[in-house]
Amino acid sequence: MLKGNILIKNASEVVTCSGFKAKFGKEMSDLSVIHDGAVVIKDGIIEAVGKTEEILKTYKETDFQVIDATGKAVLPGFVDSHTHLVFGGYRAEEFSWRLRGDNYMEIMERGGGILSSVRSTKAASKKELFDAAIKRLDSMLSFGVTTVEGKSGYGLDLDTEIKQLEVMEEVDLNHPVDVVKTFLGAHAVPQEYKGKEDEFIDYMIKDVLPVVAERNLAEFCDIFCEKKVFNVEQSRRLLKEAQERGMKIKLHADEIVQLGGAELAAELGAISADHLLQASDDGLKKMRDNGVVATLLPGTAFSLKENYARARYMIDNGCAVALATDLNPGSCFTESIPLIFALSTLYMKMTTEEAITAFTINGAAAVDKADTIGSIDKGKMGDLVILEFPSYHFIPYHIGVSTVEKVVKNGVLVFDKEKEGYSNACK
């Protein structure tokens, strides 16, 4: 892993998002901004942050690669905490079907949706999956993403699930963006298991999960807890087994119907519960009380023309909210961070400050890494975004357009819009 020494000075704003755990409720509004700020990164780790004048009294510019951020804002690298970045094939035709009125579950029930991507992913070679994933990570990096979560789930069998996770491991080693791996073998019900969902969960528990855990191929286990997919008890069985094997858990919860996924996440102590469009008041409060991050995916609601998750209610009632793209080939084919900022602020009633917290320290908490990434604090990884504008307020204001000029990963400049390209820095 390449690690560098960088000194960033004269920033109009250093938006630290300071903290080492998720921010709940009103805490999400506190960005801890330093004006005329500087950041020192040594051997890839943040060593100091403060006013430029004070920093330059202690550190010699000749010891560092210096970036003059005059007229620019500096933020922590963004954490996209829910994606499906490794997949084969595309489902553009399904998007057109939805435009004419077909809904997501109807498409899924006739063999489209996730099952269509399963067929394409099974047919794809590891090289094809690797090459496509690298291109997606390049795009994510240009939007300021320095850490991303990637899920399997387009295999639904041992060989293809392992293939997806192995590809994620390879792209993690060969791209500056860090990839957090999640096993989502129970993403849909294969045709041969329709009406036999309990048997499929048995298969996952007995034949697939042990291999994933023993080979340490994923940090998390996830499941699509939803009507006509996997019910609460089936989800509980798989997730508890994953916990017993030393894996952390998260789940797709209460997206289409109010099934009790939020309550299950709280019961089991999940790191996050995601989607939550239909989550109950009681379920959300239980998540809050048990420290479960609510990861919201407005791009999916936008693409499927669904109502948005109740971000304002969640924050006002003390929840910790994270935002993510849900990049996938079907319900939300986008890695656009600016789009998610626009949707969250314009349609989910989040403030700009809350949205930034949701994509930084709370995004880090949603992948259980708030102690090492997600804020500009001494001792954390040197992952930063430099905007081309003087204030973080420009992020949602420049609607749908990236304001990111430079990205620093582990103290190495890995993206620079001014030079129109990516560095060859890898791990």
Closest C-alpha among 372, 217, 395 to residue 323: 395
Beta bridge partner(s), residue 220: 182, 248
How far apart are alpha carbons 230 and 9 in whole angstroms?
A: 52
Q: Is 392 annotated as a binding residue?
A: no
Q: What's the length of the chain?
A: 427
- Return the structure tokens found at 377: 């604090």
Whether the CB-CB separation of 244 and 209 falls below 8 Å is answered with no
Q: Is 328 annotated as a binding residue?
A: yes
Q: Is 255 annotated as a binding residue?
A: yes
Q: Helix crossing, 261-268 with 232-244: angle to 10°? A: 20
How far is it between the farthest Cα atoms of the chain?
69
Q: Is 330 annotated as a binding residue?
A: yes
How far apart are alpha carbons 20 and 380 in whole angstroms?
A: 9
How far CA 35 is from CA of 29, 52, 228, 324, in Å, comes to 17, 9, 52, 28
DSSP result, 146-174: EEEEEE--S--SHHHHHHHHHHHHHHHHT
- Return the structure tokens found at 383: 């992952």
Q: How many CA atoms lie within 13 A of 6 on its CB side?
A: 28
Helix, strand or coil for residue 312?
Answer: helix
Question: CB neighbours (10 Å) of residue 346?
Answer: 12
Handedness of CA 394, 400, 405, 408 (dihedral sign): positive
How far apart are alpha carbons 311 and 295 in whole angstroms?
A: 10
Q: Is 393 annotated as a binding residue?
A: no
Residue 379 falls in which region: left (phi positive, over 0), alpha (psi -120 to 50) or beta: left
Going by the annotation, the residues of the binding site for Fe(3+) are 82, 84, 252, 326
Going by the annotation, the residues of the binding site for 4-imidazolone-5-propanoate are 91, 154, 187, 255, 331
Going by the annotation, the residues of the binding site for N-formimidoyl-L-glutamate are 154, 328, 330
Going by the annotation, the residues of the binding site for Zn(2+) are 82, 84, 252, 326
Going by the annotation, the residues of the binding site are 82, 84, 91, 154, 187, 252, 255, 326, 328, 330-331
